[in-house]
Each structure stands twice: as C-alpha cells, then as structure tokens.
C-alpha cells in the first residue's frame, strides 16, 4: 500500500477512535430530602445550554458532551421531586426561574475536580425578583476512562448545587408569597 493511503487509514482510525470515546453525560440528581418550606406557586423553568470549561479556561471539556436537554430534565426532575413549588414545568407559571450552568474541570493532586456554578434568576412575569449564585466542587477519579468517571462527580456536584439553590430560594419564601399575592390583586 502506498504511504499516503496508509496515512489516510491511520488518520481515519484515530478520528473514529477519539470520537467514539466521547462521554455523553446523563445525570439524575435526587434531593436528599423534600422541601421543608414550600412556596404555594407554580414555577416555569428555563435552562440554557451548559457552559463547559476545561483546563486553563479553555472552552469545552475534551471527550465530554452534556446536552442541554439532559441538563434541563435533570434540573426539572430535581425541582419536581424536591417539592419547593406546587408545580414545576416547561409551561408558564406564577414565577419563572432561569438557570445558567457552568461546569469546569481541573486536575489537582492527581484527581479531576468538577466545579458546577448555577446562576438562577427568579422573576414574576417580566419583573425580576431575585438572583442566586451557588457553587459546588466534587473530586472525581484520577482517570476519565468511562462515562461513569465523569457522570458520578458531575451528578453529585449538580445535586449539591441544586440543594443549595433551593435552600436559598426557600429562605426567600415570604418574598415569593408576597410577590404572587401582589400580582393577584
């Protein structure tokens, strides 16, 4: 076989090998406990695509894919199970929560660390009410060989961040009750 043909086969094999190793993340964070301070209002959840940041603040994380639809379902499922609001859906509600997610990956002391930052903006109609920022970091394994080596720490970090976010929202319960009562008048 001529040299050029062998090089093309080698490059194609490398491309197929690398692309087949992409970790498609699917997470299902579950609340540790139900809400202790429910808000008697419906919530419309809006999420944006997760921002992924690799080492040295580079965009994207090598071999990791986290679809926006999976992130949205993860947050929606968590909020529905937590029970902070009467209902949580993709449909308009009394309140709207917009959530932006930033996942960064670093390597320290031989372990990968997954940091999730959630920014939440709560509004009633077009009127902004409050904003939140929570951050959680979880240490993973020393290698990223299989999907679970990414999934488990990402799911844990997301669960912890969602727990902190909902606790902050629940602390503001009187604000959301008052806002909704004013809207009804």
pLDDT in tens, 5-44: 565 655 544 444 444 467 788 999 999 999 988 999 999 9
pTM of the model: 0.84
- C-alpha 100/C-alpha 168 separation (Å) is 16
Taking CA atoms, 62 is separated from 52, 113, 141, 160, in Å, by 10, 14, 16, 24
Residue 81: band (very low, low, confident or very high) from pLDDT cuts 50, 70, 90: very high
What does the pLDDT average to over 47-52?
Answer: 96
Residue 177: band (very low, low, confident or very high) from pLDDT cuts 50, 70, 90: confident
Q: What is the pLDDT of residue 183?
A: 53
13-22, 141-150, 174-183: which range is least confident on average?
A: 13-22
Taking CA atoms, 32 is separated from 60, 76, 106, 151, 171, in Å, by 30, 16, 27, 18, 17
Q: What tokens does 20 get?
A: 């087949």
Q: What is the pLDDT of residue 16?
A: 42
């Amino acid at each position: 076989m001529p040299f050029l043909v062998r090089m093309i086969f080698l490059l194609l094999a490398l491309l197929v090998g690398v692309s087949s190793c992409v970790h498609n993340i699917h997470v299902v964070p579950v609340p540790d406990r139900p809400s202790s301070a429910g808000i008697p209002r419906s919530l419309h959840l809006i999420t944006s695509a997760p921002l992924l940041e690799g080492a040295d603040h580079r965009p994207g994380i090598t071999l990791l894919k986290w679809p926006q639809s999976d992130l949205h379902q993860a947050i929606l499922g968590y909020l529905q199970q937590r029970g902070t609001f009467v209902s949580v859906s993709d449909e308009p509600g009394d309140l709207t929560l917009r959530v932006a997610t930033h996942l960064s990956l670093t390597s320290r002391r031989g372990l990968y660390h997954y940091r999730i930052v959630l920014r939440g903006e709560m509004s009633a109609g077009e009127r902004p009410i409050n904003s939140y920022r929570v951050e959680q970091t979880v240490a993973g394994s020393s290698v990223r060989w299989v999907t679970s080596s990414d999934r488990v720490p990402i799911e844990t970090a997301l669960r912890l961040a969602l727990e902190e976010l909902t606790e902050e929202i629940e602390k503001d319960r009187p604000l959301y009750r008052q806002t909704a009562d004013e809207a009804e008048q």
